[in-house]
Structure 1
Amino acid sequence: MAYLRKRSNGKWSYTVSLGMDPLTQKQKQITKSGFLTKKEAASAARKVELEIENGEFIKETKTTFESFALEWIKVYAQNAKVSSVRARNKEMKHFISVWGHLPIKKISKHIYQKRIVELSEKYSRNYVSGIHACGRMIFKHAVELELIKHNPTENVQLPKPKVNIEDIENQENEVKFLEKEELAHFLQLAKSDGLEMDYLLFTTLAYTGLRIGELLALKWSDFNTEANSIRVTKTLYNPRNNIKEYELLTPKTVGSIRTIRIDTMLVKMLKRHEIKQKELKLQQGDFYNDNKFIFARNDGHPQLNKDIG
């Protein structure tokens, strides 16, 4: 039975027992005040008692959004790639900057939808979609831990991008690929006027369809001279473009792990490159950091993304 009380300010409150705390062996209670009438307090108390009876009651946390988000990212990082954790950290800051001080239980669906609309007016739909995905994960985790009753991100929709017909009509068509003749011309220029490894690098990209990170992560063990193939099992992650601070990560999806048959011409090019690289290693001696990368710099470290293209 709830205990009802009239406060000194004339408003009513209720106190409901939550039962015995198994750790402290003390009675747990929940109190809420601010009701204008005794009837309102009694009605709210009865709702809580029914939730307790049905095993549906959740005592929401007073933890701030920022505190919980920082706890969540630690859990998320245990099973996510470094690149994904870095992206989520960046995304959740768009929420922390506005709600950081608020108790996470105070963030309603209206508040959440309003923030998504604000972000949609500043950033691309694709980027906001990533921020929204991060928000969904944070609040879903809070619900799973029974720290909040409702997930404010449920059924929230991203605003549709505004399309201006005149802009579409006046927009020039973007070139998304090179025609065969254009590619041949580009590769010829890479061979005659490019840097030492440009011709091999861009030929490999053109003939395999590899992503740049996958290409830079290739090692000689991935190159099968008997089967004329390349095995793709990893990608190079180097956000700071530092030759010593890179990481080799698994591809984004399981489907990205694959074996690619390559042209005989490319096989010969790679074999010639391997011979040159071995000669370079002998010349460099201990100064060469031999990590077996196919597209290595003259010091053995993998090429940087910023040095290509």
Structure 2
Amino acid sequence: MASFQKYNTKNGPMWMYKYYLPTIDPKTGKKKQSTKRGFRTKKEASLDAAKTEQEIANGTFVIEDRFMTFKQLFEQWFATISTTYKPPTKKSVMSKFNKRILPHFGHLKLKDITKSYCQDVLNAWHKEIKSVENMRMYASLIFEHAIKMEILSKNPMKDTILPKSEEDFFADDTDKRNYWEKHEIKQFLEAAENEFSLRDYVIFHTLIYTGARKGEVLALRWNDIDFKNKTMSLSKTLFQENRQSLSLTSKTADSKRVISLDDTSINWLKKLRTEASKGTVVSLDGQANSLVFARKDGEGIRLAHPNRKLQKLIEKLNLHSITVHGLRHTHASLLFEAGANIKEVQERLGHSDIKMTMNIYTHVTKAVKEKTADRFEKFMQQ
């Protein structure tokens, strides 16, 4: 409900009213309040307030059209679009705007933002970050929204030029592979069995032997493991915010999958289950709903924990440096080396787009490439 107030000006008494905007303040989580002034009578103010509240209710309200700031429109846009986002996406998008985009654009009125200014911002970003194209895309979303709301007639970010560094024009000969060869995996697992706790060792064994995402593995519950049929159900991912762990549904239908487990993986999981029960005799039928990989208090492990453990052991063993996500690429690469086809790998990894699987295939291990050359040589000798 709007609240009305009379105030004095040089031209005599006037009326104003306060109302709540349809946007949410990301810091307080509450709706923002705004004011409209300049009404000669309370009746005029009341009629305008009723119109404003109706527009807000209908979702057609726009704040003072072209005099709106970039930040105001962003908050209006985000209040609506964020309802379609899962918490990780919502957090990521808000972080991009707060850290990179709003410091440059937030305080400016939309009508005052020029193509030249946008190009200057792109040039500044280029000196600071690698994801310039990604930032341009997100900033453009706000300008495109302004066009839809008839606040702007064109997007000032459109037709700007993405800056390039001199090194972008030269071939990169450095080894940037984010996967391990088979001998590197064996070296890592042999050391990890001695260096890590049983829980941490089984985390890495599961990552390497299933190709599952880190969030999927850390979200596993015992009823996701079918010990009898040797399968693992992957339908959730772990998300953490403000020291709280949440299990979210998988991003796409293809991410929800049931994959087969080898005997070694089953045995390690049984061993972990026995330790988790503190040595008591328990049924391994997978009925428990507790987390497979949990802290002593039963809560989920921090998502950063495997990252730290991996990098620490890599440094100690002087192994080729990869990320935890690189273990997923490792699994895919070795599947290809073992003779699996692209469709099989796509289904096991839960890729919704086969292009993602193909991207991994183009970076397969040296052994696969060598086999390809051998096949060609044998064919030519026939």
Separation (CA, whole Å) in 2 of partners of 1:218 and 1:185: 26
2:121 alignment counterpart: 115
Q: In the alignment, which of 194, 214, 217 is matched to residue 216 of structure 2? A: 214
1:298–1:101 Cα change, 3 Å = closer
Structure 1 counterpart of 2:227, one-letter code: T
Secondary structure, counterpart of 1:269 in structure 2: helix
Q: Which runs of 5+ in 2 are unaligned?
A: 1-46, 49-63, 282-287, 310-382
Match of 1:97 in 2: 103
Between the aligned partners of 2:181 and 2:205, the Cα distance in structure 1 is 15
Counterpart code for 1:131: M
Structure 1 residues 1-309: aligned runs within 5 Å: 60-93=65-98, 94-124=100-130, 127-163=131-167, 168=172, 171=174, 173-174=175-176, 176-238=178-240, 242=243, 245-279=244-278, 292-308=290-306, 309=309
The answer for unaligned runs of 5 or more in structure 1 is 1-22, 25-58, 283-289
Please give the TM-score of this superposition, normalised by the length of structure 2: 0.56
CA distance in 2, matches of 1:279, 1:212: 26
1:207 positional shift: 0.2
Aligned CA distance change for structure 1 residues 74 and 160 (closer, same or farther; 3 Å)? same
Q: Is the 1:60–1:105 contact (alpha carbons within 8 Å) kept by the matching residues of 2?
A: no
Asked if the contact 1:77–1:85 (Cα under 8 Å) also holds between the matched residues in 2, the reply is yes
**Is the alpha carbon distance of 1:180 and 1:77 closer, same or farther for their aligned partners in structure 2, counting shifts above 3 Å?**
same
Q: Return the offset for 1:294.
A: 0.8
Aligned-partner Cα distance in 1 for 2:169–2:216: 38
Q: Which has the higher contact order (CA 8 A, sep 6+)?
A: 2
Deviation, 1:119, is 0.7
For residues 136-170 of structure 1, give each alpha carbon's deviation from its aligned partner in whole angstroms, at most 9, with x where no partner exists: 2212222222222212233444223431788945x
Q: 1:210, 1:190 → 2: CA distance? A: 19
Q: CA deviation at 1:87?
A: 1.8
Q: Is the 8 A contact 1:238 1:247 kept in 2?
A: yes
Structure 1 Cα separation of the partners of residues 170 and 159 of structure 2: 33
Task: Work out the CA distance in 1 between the residues paired with 2:171 and 2:158.
Answer: 34
Whether the 8 Å CA contact 2:143–2:155 is kept in 1: the answer is yes
Counterpart position of 2:345: none
Distance 1:81 1:189 in 2: 37
Return the index of the structure with the highest Cα Rg: 1
Contact conserved, 1:76 with 1:85, CA < 8 A, in 2? no
Q: What is the alpha-carbon distance in structure 2 between the residues aligned to residue 175 and residue 147 of structure 1?
A: 47
Q: What does the per-residue CA deviation read over 1:60-92, in whole Å, with 9 as the maximum and x for residues that have no partner?
A: 521111111122221121111222222222222
Distance in 2 between the 1:162 and 1:258 partners? Answer: 44
Amino acid across the alignment from 2:237: T
TM superposition score normalised by structure 1: 0.68
> What is the alpha-carbon root mean square deviation over aligned residues?
2.8
Residues 67 and 110 of structure 2 are in contact (CA less than 8 Å); yes or no, is this contact kept in structure 1?
yes
CA spacing shift, 1:80–1:150, aligned 2, 3 Å: same
* Residue in 2 that maps onto 1:8: none
2:351: which partner in 1? none
Counting matched residue pairs gives 239
Aligned partners of 1:257, 1:152: CA distance in 2, in Å?
Answer: 40
